[in-house]
Structure 1
Amino acid sequence: MKFNKVLENIQTYEAGKPIELVVREFGIAAKDVVKLASNENPIGTNPAIAKVIRSNADIAHLYPDDSMFELKAALSRKFNVQDNNIIIGAGSDQVIEFISRALLDENASVLMSAVTFAMYEIYAKQMGAKILRTASYTHKYDEFMEAYRMHRPKIIYLCTPNNPTGDATSKEEVLKIIDAVDSDTLVVVDGAYMEYAAAKDPQYAITPNDLLKYENVIYLGTFSKAHGLGGMRVGYGIAQAELIKELHKMRPPFNISTLSLAVAIEACKDNSFVEESIALHQEQIKRYEAFAEEQGFEYIESYTNFITYMFDETMDATKIADALLKRGVIIRNLASYGLNAMRITIGTVKQNDVFFKHFLEVIA
């Protein structure tokens, strides 16, 4: 069987290892496994979500409202935008897929930082597009402008805060890049972790309304992180109505489930759970920063719900990650990104206690 040639140069996305894998391979009880690999909310979901799931269980056999009227209305109120500025995806990465299919072909190129969310590249390559990367994992204006002027990419991805590194780009710098780009290039501002950045430092806070005056910019958000709904797969894109209208041509019908739609609507009603989640994170990340300083290795200042530890040649991230996995601690090894580093989701107090205990034993 012959497959599309573009598949030859695409690597399968490597998701964080599930708890079930550790249970199967190492015989560790699920309750004893600490998963700090996929940037899920460590305190779970808003208790009101469970009630919504139970109350909607009897209509799970029905397709959802494909207009997603209530969810769009809730997001409209939340961000002070119009319903026709919004598209809903099964996670924000599905919106990235819509964007790629709508704009890219074998003659196009896509520009992104040296280390960033892998799906930007994967979806672009599926369309045969060329991948351009800056030299730095941070979003440096001069590097982006040099590549932009030379190649005139069809899409520029600005992931802020950036995954998997955790750094962020200020609103001033993001707008500076956008203002320097002409309308033939779409700028995607991926704010999957924006709630964390906004809470840490207002100069890094970007809202969809900050970007709506631009016809060639789209903001991406998700319910997977601060809202704790990773398993429900709901994300969104917000842009000018004409751009959203074109992206809707890429969207399949009923692309999120009946239950996903219901819980996303509920999640928009009360921000106290998000505030609680961020407060825990801000408290616990200080432990990770202090720990790195005590042990003498570097970390990237984080504006997300995770932290990235960077190692020199005396430490091997792959060996450390493998040893932790055998102990029931799952973190994200960043070797596939070309980094001798590991990304750790900031967990609960108990989860973090377990991580530090085993990490110290492993590096000893």
Structure 2
Amino acid sequence: MKFNTVLDNLKIYEAGKPIELVVREYGVDEKDIIKLASNENPRGSSPRVIEAIKKETRKANLYPDDSMYELKEGLANKFKVTNDNVIIGAGSDQIISFALQAKANKHTSILMARTTFAMYEIYGRQTGATILKTPSHTHNLDELLQLYKENPSVSVIFLCIPNNPLGECLDTKEVYNFLDQIDDGTLVVVDGAYQEYASYKDKNKKIDVKDLISKYPNTLYLGTFSKAYGLGGMRCGYGIADSTIIKALHKLRSPFNITTLSLKAGIEALKDEEFVQNCIKENFDEMIKYEKFARDNGFNFIPSYTNFITLKYEDDRKSSLIAQNLLKKGIIVRDLGAYGMNAIRVTIGTPEQNSKFFSTYITI
């Protein structure tokens, strides 16, 4: 059977290894496994969200409210925009797909940092567009701007602020200076999946969403409930942009694209900001331990504005071997070898999980 040629060189996204796989392949007892690979919230979900989901299961036979009015209203109030500025997706990556379907094709190019969220490229290649990447792994705005000026075909630019999978983060002023030099017809996707963390750690990294889309009507801001809100399993994300962009994206959205439970979880999660702030505070309290561990053991790290940290090796230690040895001990981390880096990405876990990581690491 023949398939569309765009699939020929398309890589499959590799998610973090599930706990069940480690149990099967390495015989580790499930209770002894800690997953520090997918940047999930180790403290789980807000108790009020859990209770709301339990009650909502009574409506499992019913389609969700396709207008998603209550969730849109909650997001609109949070970001001081209107419902017309909001679109809901099954994770923010679904909205990435919408944006690329709307703007990219075989005659256009998509611009991004060399090492950033893999789905930008995967969805981009599905459109037949050319993928352009900077020489630098992290976001180098000078390189991005140069590539943009050299390639008039660029229709979409991705800025991951802060960046996944590395953790670095641009200052808001830098972002605005960059956007000042981008044509109004080019869509700039500002991915804020980890913005809750970045804005907590450094106010200079905070993206004011209303200000962003007001000053730059060609921008699309992405957010998610999968990280700080602890709802990775619910698959609920959102996009915020000028209403003309949102109207275009809605033409690509299928009806009932998130579940009844996902919708309810998102609505309730927005009401428990105290839970989110407590999670973020503990995250950075624990991250300090990782930074000290790296210094004490002679390897580098990328200062992170997220809920994970990238540990880099510049000697004969191989990240793939380190990740594999940790896996055998029941600790799941993310090897960044596929990105051409000798590094691993570690989600910041609970204090107990982090202590186990440190004590296990020195034995491998």
| TM-score class normalised by the smaller sequence | over 0.9
1:221 and 2:235 matched? no
What residue number does 1:266 align with?
A: 268
Amino acid at match of 1:100: L
Cα distance between partner residues in 2 of 1:141 and 1:97: 24
1:311 and 2:313 matched? yes
SS of residue matched to 2:37: coil
1:177 deviates by 1.1
Aligned residue runs from structure 1 range 249-328, under 5 A: 249-328=251-330
1:34 and 2:31 matched? no
Cα distance between partner residues in 2 of 1:323 and 1:207: 42
Amino acid at match of 1:174: V
1:140 deviates by 2.0
Cα distance between partner residues in 2 of 1:270 and 1:295: 39
1:29 deviates by 1.5
What residue number does 2:138 align with?
A: 138
SS of residue matched to 1:84: helix
Cα distance between partner residues in 1 of 2:279 and 2:271: 16
SS of residue matched to 2:53: helix
What residue number does 1:202 align with?
A: 203
Aligned residue runs from structure 1 range 46-195, under 5 A: 46-152=46-152, 153-195=154-196
Cα distance between partner residues in 1 of 2:343 and 2:135: 18
Amino acid at match of 1:258: T
Cα distance between partner residues in 1 of 2:319 and 2:17: 16
Cα distance between partner residues in 2 of 1:5 and 1:88: 31
Cα distance between partner residues in 2 of 1:86 and 1:177: 24
Q: Is the 8 A contact 2:162 2:306 kept in 1?
A: yes
Q: Is the 8 A contact 2:170 2:205 kept in 1?
A: yes
Amino acid at match of 2:258: I
Cα distance between partner residues in 2 of 1:70 and 1:179: 34
Deviates more, 1:249-258 or 1:140-149: 140-149
Q: Which segments of 5 or more consecutive residues in structure 2 lack a partner in the other structure?
A: none
SS of residue matched to 1:158: strand
Q: Is the 8 A contact 2:155 2:185 kept in 1?
A: yes
SS of residue matched to 2:301: strand
Amino acid at match of 1:338: G
1:9 deviates by 1.3
1:137 deviates by 2.4
- Cα deviations across residues 42-78 of structure 1 (Å, max 9, x unaligned)? 1101011111111111101110000000000000111
1:212 deviates by 1.5
Cα distance between partner residues in 2 of 1:104 and 1:308: 31
Amino acid at match of 2:11: Q
SS of residue matched to 1:237: strand
Amino acid at match of 1:19: I
SS of residue matched to 2:184: coil
Amino acid at match of 1:28: V
Cα distance between partner residues in 2 of 1:172 and 1:107: 32
Cα distance between partner residues in 2 of 1:264 and 1:75: 10
Cα distance between partner residues in 2 of 1:135 and 1:208: 29
Amino acid at match of 1:143: E
1:210 deviates by 2.2
2:333 to 328, 331, 334: 331
SS of residue matched to 2:213: coil
2:354 to 343, 352, 355: 352
Alignment RMSD: 0.7
1:105 deviates by 0.8
- Cα deviations across residues 231-280 of structure 1 (Å, max 9, x unaligned)? 00000000000110000001011000000000100011120011110111
Deviates more, 1:133-142 or 1:304-313: 133-142
1:207 deviates by 2.5
Cα distance between partner residues in 2 of 1:75 and 1:212: 15
Cα distance between partner residues in 2 of 1:31 and 1:178: 48
SS of residue matched to 1:225: coil
1:147 deviates by 0.2
- Cα deviations across residues 283-338 of structure 1 (Å, max 9, x unaligned)? 10000000000111110000000000010132100001011101100000001111
SS of residue matched to 2:8: helix
User: TM-score by structure 1 length?
Assistant: 0.98
SS of residue matched to 2:363: helix
Q: Which segments of 5 or more consecutive residues in structure 1 lack a partner in the other structure?
A: none
Runs of 4+ in 1 over 4 A off after TM superposition: none
Cα distance between partner residues in 1 of 2:58 and 2:269: 20
SS of residue matched to 1:120: helix
Cα distance between partner residues in 1 of 2:8 and 2:92: 25
Q: Is the 8 A contact 2:46 2:272 kept in 1?
A: no
